[in-house]
Amino acid sequence: MGDSVAGVASRGRTTEVDFALIGHQESWRAAADVLAFLRGPQRTPLPDDEIKDILPWIPPRAVCHVDVGSTVGAKTSGLYIDSFIPPDRLEAAYVHENIGRVRAAAAYAIKAGAKIVSLGGFSSILIEGNFDQLPQRHDTVFTTGNTLTVAFIVQGIKKMCALEGRNIRRSTLLIVGATGDVGSGCARCLAPIVSRVQLSARNVERLRRLAAELQADGVQVEIATDLQRFSAEADVVICAASLPSPSLLLGRIAPHAIVCDAGYPKNLSPSAQMLGTKVFFGGLGQITGGLRFAPDFHGILNRHPFPDVVHGCLLEGMALALERRFEAFSQGRGSITQERVEEIETIAARHGIYLAPLYNADGPVEDGLHCQTEWA
């Protein structure tokens, strides 16, 4: 296990930094847990009002060291850098402030000597269309990590269909947030294997372009900015919209639809229409070759019911570091192809990074699986 906070309270660790992971806490509870851990068990946890007052002032910085092992014996080390975007400031109103925080976190990663930097969570959403705003240094590359996220979403959909005994080839796939990097990547990977595709997003022009691209390959595509306007009920749904809170309401989906909540933070709002649906959290992978934090933030930074589960966007940087391929694998918006998804899947699998066990807010969705940690 990793070192305690006390062990590193006065000294840093001097190891080579292959990768950096830029993230943030998606809820005040998560932020409180991080600060409570840093304060140590002998000090009273900070009251909620103090956390909300203090956190926005913390400049982006490393929170811990991360060591990752591969099932074929490779090892790599890096840093988790928190941008300290306050959980209640993910809205558009704070976009400039938040880009500034991601830029500062990126500068921190460069200064630490990271060779590859993965932009986790909202950081990649903020930056996917603004890569030119990141600080430049020739020996540090940035990846949104979206290609591996897409890979795990697609694998999750296929696995869930298999678990539910559904024939994916007969299904109608709805992608909400279809024109984003993750949404469009999922569309390209799944469109060839489903019966028809429904694409929803706010920007009609981008929707039309994506639809035309898919239709050129013979896919039956329908587009709408309003979910109620689709002509049929979707039975497989991917929610990949960039929303800062669980505010996405689904309508007009099949009563027993498979729904992948692939947003970060999770943005699907539970509703009465979804009572019979099979919801799972998408885009997550699991490291089987070993994951170590120093100080030991296990279960605090990766708050999942199964061990060593990490978001695909962050795993992409770790997988590429294990492969010693320090390249900007995922950049920009809308350029994720099926070939690139297969390539990153292969790299990840070579090092023992696989799709995480499927789960949702109620726990595991696969029979026989049990959570290893208490999870609410």
Residue 59 or 251 having the CB closest to other proteins: 59
Helix (H, G, I), strand (E, B) or coil at 239: strand
Residue 12 or 218 having the CB closest to other proteins: 12
Question: How far is the C-alpha of 262 from the C-alpha of 188, rounded, in Å?
Answer: 16
- Per CB under 8 A, 35 contacts other proteins: yes
- Per CB under 8 A, 38 contacts other proteins: yes
User: Which span sits near other proteins by CB under 8 A: 23-31, 50-58, 214-222, 339-347?
Assistant: 50-58
- Per CB under 8 A, 108 contacts other proteins: yes
- Per CB under 8 A, 228 contacts other proteins: no
Ranges within 75-104 binding other proteins (CB under 8 A): 79
Please, what is the minimum distance in Å from the beta carbon of residue 317 to other proteins?
18
Please, what is the minimum distance in Å from the beta carbon of residue 66 to other proteins?
11
Q: Which of 1, 11, 139, 275 binds other proteins (CB under 8 A)?
A: 11
Please, what is the minimum distance in Å from the beta carbon of residue 52 to other proteins?
9
Burial of 260 (0-12, 13-18, 19+ CB in 10 A): buried
- Per CB under 8 A, 366 contacts other proteins: no
- Per CB under 8 A, 39 contacts other proteins: yes
Q: Which of 46, 141, 174, 199 binds other proteins (CB under 8 A)?
A: 46
- Per CB under 8 A, 64 contacts other proteins: yes
Question: How far is the C-alpha of 249 from the C-alpha of 253, rounded, in Å?
Answer: 11
Stated as kind and residue range, the H or E segment containing 176 is strand 172-176
User: Which span sits near other proteins by CB under 8 A: 54-62, 270-278, 279-287, 327-335?
Assistant: 54-62
Ranges within 287-306 binding other proteins (CB under 8 A): 295
Residues that bind other proteins (rule: CB under 8 A) add up to a total of 29
Q: DSSP label at 173?
A: E
Q: Which of 30, 58, 232, 369 binds other proteins (CB under 8 A)?
A: 58
Q: Which of 29, 61, 158, 196 binds other proteins (CB under 8 A)?
A: 61
User: Which span sits near other proteins by CB under 8 A: 9-17, 22-30, 156-164, 354-362?
Assistant: 9-17
Stated as kind and residue range, the H or E segment containing 354 is strand 353-355
Q: Three-class SS string for 275-343? A: CCCEEEECCEEEECCCEEEECCCCCCCCCCCCCCEEEHHHHHHHHHHHCCCCCCCCCCCCCCCHHHHHH
146-180: string of b/e by CB count within 10 Å (b at 16+)?
Answer: bbbbbbbbbbbbebbbeeeebebeebbbbbbbbbb
- Per CB under 8 A, 50 contacts other proteins: yes
Please, what is the minimum distance in Å from the beta carbon of residue 208 to other proteins?
45
Degrees, nearest 5: CA angle 244-239-284: 85
User: Which span sits near other proteins by CB under 8 A: 1-9, 213-221, 308-316, 345-353?
Assistant: 1-9
Q: DSSP label at 352?
A: T
Stated as kind and residue range, the H or E segment containing 175 is strand 172-176
CB 234 within 8 A of CB 210: no
Question: How far is the C-alpha of 210 from the C-alpha of 199, rounded, in Å?
Answer: 9
Binding site for other proteins (CB under 8 A): 5, 8-13, 35, 38-40, 43, 46-47, 50, 53-54, 56-59, 61-65, 79, 108, 295
